[in-house]
Structure 1
Amino acid sequence: MASTIVRITKEIRHIQQGTDLSIAVAYRDSNIQHIKALIVGPPETPYEFGFFEFNVRLGRDYPSSPPSVTATTTNGGRCRFNPNIYAGGKVCLSILGTWRGERPGEEWSSAQGLESILISIQSLMSSNPYENEPGYENKKGPDELRHQALYVDKIRHETLRIAVIQKLEEQLGILPNGQVEPPAPAWESEIDEDVEEALEKMGDVEKTKFEPFKDLFKRRFLWYYDTYLSTIETYAKKHRDGEKFQKMEFEHGGNTMDGTYQYSDLKRRLNLIHSTIHMETERWAEEGLNAKRREVGVSANLQRQHEQIVEAHKDKAFTIDLELASDNPFVWQITYFGKPMTHLDGGMFKIRICLSPRFPDEQPRVKVLTPIYHHRVAKDGTLCYFPKKVEEMKSHIDAIVEALEDDSPPYDPRTTVHPEAAKLYWGSADDKKKYHRQLRRSVERSMDEC
């Protein structure tokens, strides 16, 4: 049993410290053998940037035997997202022993592990999942091709509805009627945290709700909002509201994906989520001032980190100017000066970092306030960046500057949050020239606004 725990611990740490933006794992301290896993739907598939959660249970004899894996993003057991991912949660994979492999080596072996399982599940989320159904992989007639396209279309719709919008509505307290439940006052939140801590000491943590990816959902939503919106606007032209989903031959007995296209409603709900997250971010400033008045530890920690960073930059090249907005340690303001001999040369950009009183459990939300045409900056100014140490603000500042200045990043759709700019940047040579012209124009405008 001890060797099993050691093995599981190493595998979890490997995933958590890795750079794969598509998978995440978490567990309660009370039981490391019960794991929650997240797979972010691969780009350029109907599952694009959806949040798909799974429960993973590893037995006492792991890794001699495979774990049990159950899909939980199923709309309460009513939606089958893939021929191999059932509405009831069953995941059909040969390495899990839930499907008979046709080739040697497809069965489970102790050389495999948690990461390989998640990658195998992710591989099911392909651009044409219709082919995952046995016997349908080689069907290429006109009717089959039409069915393939319709199957992809309804998965795309339900990914947005269930694996994105519904999840964020639950996290934000958005009710079915569109109203938003008011957040608990700061003092109530503190009591909740005290109660949870007490429960943990009592070994009764199962009574508290475990939502390890709550903050991740919100940050990623802001990254991919423009992509979600673009998808809705594109496919709303193809499927009118109220049009029924096409039922596939292999869907039966409740193990189906039934419903109708409702893209107009999805757009409304998407926009409400977007504005609600921004309102939540603005509330952090007020919560932060309350935390400062009460001399909460995180407030003093952030104040100290700010002072240390300012002191450290005194002897460095004039790249950034850093200050606190209204002397609030939870709202940092950066003035970034474009690095000489780069495409940002001469520019001056205002950047705001909003921090939560629950930092680092809730990560900062960063917005470039000065308009800039950049593949890592969304249209609303949200910046996509990756700190090496999430608990250190110096690491956040360094990563923000690095994201803006990186002039030769590898192509990765998961890190490009301005679809139009990304299409130009990784397009033809002429497209890339257009991108840099747009970027330079935004730099010049930033100088005019100084």
Structure 2
Amino acid sequence: MFTPHLPLSCSSLCFVCTLQNKSTTMQRASRLKKELQLLTNEPPPGISCWQDNQMDDLRAQILGLVDSPYESGIFSLEIILPERYPFEPPKVRFLTPIYHPNIDTAGRICLDILKMPPKGAWKPSLSISTVLTSIQLLMSEPNPDDPLMADISAEFKYNKQSFIENAKQWTLKHATQTKKDEVCLGLGKNLGFCFPTPALNNMANAH
């Protein structure tokens, strides 16, 4: 005997949605945990990342690469993960002022993988580690053809030496000051790097 399928009630639909949301949240938390463990155990050279007060609120530090105007500078960043991460890119901004054509005075970054297609290149297979290494590379290899700071972009294009001098001055002023809550560690091949106290605590808790 044929029994027609009855439509789900509103309460049943809400229950299904709740289960789906819980599953998505658990998957997101599991992925984030794995990403942070990898960043702690096998960090890219010159990069550290740790959780701040909430699961989706991260902090990172990038060490300026050798032979760049940002050499030896320690740049702090804020990373906010949206609810749909990794299906949406993280929101990343510099907390440390930096003189760069693709980074504005609010710390916002012009980088294709931080934007959704079709204008951007973000995809779920990318990770926080990929984002941070891409930002580190952008610091050393600016893209003056897609700037956030038009005046700095023009300087980079037409007066490179002036750009280098200004970037070095900003690095010296904003990114090399000694901070009481930082502990210097060796990272990679004798690469000096400073982790703030929260990062050290996270490392200790991970073991």
The CA deviation at 1:7 is 0.5
Q: CA deviation at 1:38?
A: 0.8
Q: Does 1:81 align with 2:99?
A: yes
Question: Which residue is 1:25 aligned to?
Answer: 49
Relative to its length, the structure with more strand (as a share) is 2
Measure the CA separation in 2 of the matches of 1:95 and 1:52: 20
Q: Is the 8 A contact 2:65 2:72 kept in 1?
A: yes
Deviation at 1:215, TM superposition (A): 1.3
Partner secondary structure for residue 159 of structure 2: helix
The answer as to 2:77 corresponding to 1:44 is: no
Report SS of the residue matched to 1:55.
strand
AA aligned opposite 1:66: P
Note closer, same or farther for the CA distance 1:134–1:72 as it changes in structure 2 (3 Å cut): same
Q: 1:3 aligns with which of 7, 22, 27?
A: 27
Mapping of residues 69-148 of structure 1, within 5 Å: 69-74=92-97, 80-97=98-115, 107-126=121-140, 129=142, 132-134=143-145, 147-148=159-160
5+ long unaligned stretches in structure 1: 75-79, 137-142, 173-210, 225-357, 363-388, 392-450
Question: Which one of the candidate residues 215, 221, 240 is aligned to 2:183?
Answer: 215
Distance (Å, rounded) in 1 between the aligned partners of 2:43 and 2:146: 36
Distance change in 2, residues 1:14/1:151 (3 Å): same
Q: Distance in 1 between matches of 2:46 and 2:131?
A: 13
Contact 2:44–2:129 under 8 Å retained in 1: no
1:58 is aligned to 2:72: no
Structure 2 gap ranges (5+): 1-24, 148-154
How do 1:225-240 residues align onto structure 2 when only pairs under 5 Å count?
none
Please tell me whether the aligned partners of residues 92 and 99 of structure 1 are also in contact (alpha carbons under 8 angstroms).
Answer: no
Query: Residue 66 of structure 1 aligns to a residue in which SS?
Result: coil
Higher radius of gyration, 1 or 2? 1
Give CA-to-partner distance per residue, 1:390-446, whole Å, 9 cap, x none.
89xxxxxxxxxxxxxxxxxxxxxxxxxxxxxxxxxxxxxxxxxxxxxxxxxxxxxxx
- Distance change >3 Å, CA 60–CA 145, structure 1 → 2: closer
Deviations along 1:311-348, whole A, 9 cap, x unmatched? xxxxxxxxxxxxxxxxxxxxxxxxxxxxxxxxxxxxxx
Structure 1 residues 45 and 99, CA, compared in 2 at 3 Å: closer, same or farther?
farther
Say which structure is richer in helix: 1
- Cα deviation, 1:286-330, whole Å, max 9, x if unaligned, reads xxxxxxxxxxxxxxxxxxxxxxxxxxxxxxxxxxxxxxxxxxxxx
Q: Give 1:83 shift.
A: 1.2
With over 3 angstroms needed to count, the CA separation of the structure-2 counterparts of 1:95 and 1:161, relative to structure 1, is same
Secondary structure of 1:156 counterpart: helix
Greater relative contact order, per chain length (Cα 8 Å cut-off, separation 6+)? 2
State the identity %.
25
Counterparts of residues 157-306 of structure 1 (less than 5 Å):
157-165=169-177, 168=178, 171-172=179-180, 214-216=182-184, 219=185
- State the secondary structure of the residue aligned to 2:175: helix
Gap change, CA 1:24 and 1:63, over 3 Å in 2: same
Q: Provide closer, same or farther for how the CA distance between residues 94 and 5 of structure 1 changes in structure 2, counting only shifts above 3 A.
A: same
Partner residue in 2 for 1:180 = none
TM-score (norm 1): 0.33
1:235 aligned partner: none
- Pairing 1:353-368 to 2, within 5 Å after superposition: 361=200
What amino acid maps onto 1:22 in structure 2? Answer: G
SS in structure 2 opposite 1:59?
coil
SS in 2 for 1:39: strand
**After TM superposition, what 4+ stretches of structure 1 lie above 2 angstroms from structure 2?**
98-101, 143-146
For 1:144 and 1:33, locate their aligned partners in 2 and report how far apart those are by CA, in whole Å: 35
Cross-structure match for 1:412:
none
1:90 maps to amino acid? R
Distance 2:73 2:163 in 1: 17
Structure 2 Cα separation of the partners of residues 15 and 52 of structure 1: 17
Distance in 1 (alpha carbons) for counterparts of 2:29 and 2:42: 20
